[in-house]
Amino acid sequence: MKRHLYSPTTADGFTLIEVLVSVFLLSIMSALCYGTLNYVMKARTITQDSFARLRGVEMTMHYLVNDVSQMTLRPVRDSLGETAQPTLLADPRNTALLSLTRGGWANWVGLPRSTQQRVTYRLEQETLIREYLPVLDATLSVTPTRQSLLSGVKQITFRYLDGTRAWQTQWPVLNLDGAMPDGSGVNLPLRTRPLAIEVVIELQDFGSLRRVIEVPG
């Protein structure tokens, strides 16, 4: 008996209906996989942005705490060399929110310079800027180094705890007539420090952050 190797009644492939169903199911699965992958990528981007934002806030607080905790009693001359500025000078009405002299400036390469540093904080276009000078008694020709610490800052305020445990909005503390609290004159006290400094940073995304930093000495 001869065996037929091919029978005209046997199907050799998929029908058109089966192909269309397969393509349809594959399209649905691809769309679901793409949606899941897109969600995962967006979640990863949001997580990375959040971590970067938190790191920026953490680094900003680190700079503030480090500068305040190493504050020294060294006044500096102004850029014209005519008057002296206190070791801590702060007035919310000025563009420079806070200026102070700090110690502990690391000198890894042994440059011929002081280990003390004059630091200034400014708020410019919702960005907190930290400036420092290469010398303490700088002139107009000395250009400060600027660091952009934190963006999206709606407002930043400082308060200063004086010797009577009262919070002040500027430092040194003056009476309404511009005289010293003890009435001894109108010259700014050059070597006074508060007991603590309160900083409140209002961010666009995280709201208000508050930190009280103890001043040494």
Angle at 16 between CA 12 and CA 20, to 5 degrees: 130
Q: Mean pLDDT in the chain?
A: 83
Extents of the domains making up the chain? 63-214
Tokens 């000395």 belong to: 142
Asked whether the predicted pLDDT for residue 4 surpasses 70, the reply is no
**What pLDDT does residue 88 have?**
94
Q: pTM to 2 decimals? A: 0.74
Residue 8: which pLDDT band, with cuts at 50, 70 and 90? Answer: low
Residue 179 has pLDDT above 50, yes or no: no
- Checking if the pLDDT of 125 tops 60, the result is yes
What is the average pLDDT across 94-115? Answer: 85
Element (H, E) at 183: none
Check if the beta carbon of residue 72 is closer than 8 Å to that of residue 102: yes
Q: Of all residues in the chain, what percent carry a pLDDT higher than 90?
A: 43
Note the pLDDT of residue 83: 81
Instruction: Please determine, for residue 129, whether its predicted confidence score (pLDDT) is greater than 90.
Output: yes
Instruction: Summarize pLDDT for 139-169 with one digit per residue, the tens.
Output: 888 899 999 999 999 999 999 999 899 999 9
Q: Where are the alpha helices (DSSP H) in the chain?
A: 16-69
In this predicted structure, what is the pLDDT of residue 64?
95
The pair phi, psi for residue 187, each rounded to 5°, is -70, 140
Ranges assigned E (strand) in the chain = 76-77, 84-85, 88-89, 96-102, 117-124, 127-132, 145-151, 153-161, 167-168, 196-203, 207-214
Residue 71 DSSP code: B
Highest mean pLDDT among 23-32, 169-178, 190-199: 190-199
> 98 versus 176: which is more confidently predicted?
98
Residues 33-60: pLDDT tens digits? 877 777 777 777 777 878 888 898 999 9
Q: Is the pLDDT of residue 176 over 50?
A: no
Residue 104 pLDDT exceeds 80 = yes
Average pLDDT for residues 10-38, to the nearest whole number?
75
192 in Cβ contact with 86 (< 8 Å): yes
Higher pLDDT, 9 or 189: 189
Backbone angles phi, psi at 171, to 5 degrees: -145, 135
The CATH H-level (homologous superfamily) assignment of domain 63-214 is: GSPII I/J protein-like (3.10.610.10)
What share of the chain has pLDDT > 70, as a percent? 87
Residue type, 106: A
Please state the rounded mean pLDDT for residues 97-104.
Answer: 92
How far is the C-alpha of 158 from the C-alpha of 168, rounded, in Å? Answer: 9
